[in-house]
Amino acid sequence: MLSIENVAQKYRSLRLTAIANGLGSIVSQAQDNEVSYLHLADMLVEKELNQRNSSRIEQNRRKAGFPVYKSLDEFDYRFQTTITKREINTLLNFSFIDNRENVVFIGSPGVGKTHLTIGIGFKAIEAGYKVCFKSALALVEELDLAELRGELKNKLNQLLKFDLLLIDELGYLPMNKHSTYNLFQLINAMYEFRSIICCCK
């Protein structure tokens, strides 16, 4: 005898878990509203697509390595008057990523550069881009260690898998010539191929 659970199990076997888990409620909703077969089919696939999109966003957020969550909605433009909400909003169509362009925020500590950078990073992930956040110190240490192990090229290739690299606190601490050269190799590899947002002192 055909049942919701039997059908749901078939969906699970196809790895369509969102449809399987929501099948009962979707079918009930369809019956109550007397929707067409085509509409029902659309409801099922929308359920799966929404779940997969949510999972992808959450996975990419974890991979990004953000130290904290920062929302652009929480940024106080009245306190920081050197930049406007309109200027930030012009970045949120992400044409700068599509065009492989870079963004630089310059200012003293505590003015909100990191907040804006993380907020833009979260929005980019929601829009489907892959993002990586690194402090300049952590990034240089990783590059220097990779170079010491003879794995610098592999490290650069790993970072090039991201559409957008966020570098925080660049220029806050001095770097030796060797570290500066390794960082230059990364920026040179990304030039016109990937995008960077830098927070600089």
Contact 199, 120 (CB under 8 A): no
Q: What is the pTM of this model?
A: 0.82
**pLDDT tens digits, one per residue of 177-196:** 989 999 999 999 999 999 99
Same domain for 96 and 173?
A: yes
Same domain for 20 and 78?
A: no
Same domain for 52 and 86?
A: no
Number of domains comprising the chain: 2
* Average pLDDT for 104-111: 87
Measured distance CA(201)–CA(171) in Å, rounded: 6
- What is the edge-to-edge ordering of all strands in the sheet holding 195-200? 103-106, 195-200, 164-170, 131-135
Same domain for 118 and 78?
A: yes
Same domain for 89 and 140?
A: yes
Report the candidate in 187, 88, 172 with the shortest Cα–Cα distance to residue 135: 172
Same domain for 109 and 42?
A: no
**pLDDT tens digits, one per residue of 10-56:** 888 888 898 888 888 888 888 888 888 888 889 889 999 999 999 99
Same domain for 15 and 55?
A: yes
Residue range(s) defining the domain that contains residue 50: 4-64
